[in-house]
Homo-oligomer: A and B are copies of this chain.
Amino acid sequence: MQRKSFEGMRCPIARSLERVGEWWSMLILRDAFNGLTRFDEFQRHLGIAPNMLARRLATLVDSGLLERRRYSERPPRDEYVLTERGRDFHDVLLALLSFGNRHFAPEGESVVIVDSVTGVRADPVLVDRRSGRPLATSDFKLAAGPGATRATSTRRPNPATRVTGAARVRAQRARA
Contacts and interface: CB of A to CB of B under 8 A. Distances in A.
A63 to B, nearest CB: 8
Given A64-B103, A99-B89, A124-B127, A112 B142 contact: yes
A126 to B, nearest CB: 4
Number of copies: 2
A132 to B, nearest CB: 5
A46 B108 CA distance: 36
A154 interface: no
B119 A123 contact: no
Interface in A1-45: 3-4, 6, 10-19, 21-23, 26-27, 30, 34
Given A119-B158, A141-B116, A148-B111, A95 B97 contact: no
A30 B113 CA distance: 26
- Greatest chain B CB density within 10 A among A4, A131, A132, A145 is at A145
Interface of A: 3-4, 6, 10-19, 21-23, 26-27, 30, 34, 47-48, 64, 85, 87-105, 107-120, 122-132, 135-136, 138-149, 152, 156, 158-163
